[in-house]
Amino acid sequence: MKIWGKIRVDNSTVSSSTVTLNIRSAYEVEDWSEPFARLCHDMNLSRPVILKKHVRDLQQFGHTVFLPADFMEPVDFDKLEIELY
């Protein structure tokens, strides 16, 4: 399985990156901090605050969105979309 992260500004993708995980399902991941840390490092971002809502969206829909309010440091984009495939 892979995680695909896309930085979006005005509904346009300005940057993206993927990280490969050695899992078959999102339900196998106990702690999303490490995969998100790898993805954010590749995209030169600080890590967002991961809420239960984000984990639930990933498990149920394979997709979640982080808004600027989910980051401790200021960011210059509208959202970070995370998709599993």
CA atoms within 13 A on the CB side of 68: 7
Chain-centroid distance of CA 48 in Å reads 8
66 vs 26 pLDDT, higher one: 66
Chain-centroid distance of CA 60 in Å reads 15
Confidence of residue 23 (pLDDT cuts 50, 70, 90): confident
Any idea where the domains of the chain sit in the sequence? 2-84
Q: What are phi and psi of 81, to 5 degrees?
A: -95, 135
Helices (H), 1-85: 33-42, 52-61
- Write down the pTM of the prediction: 0.89
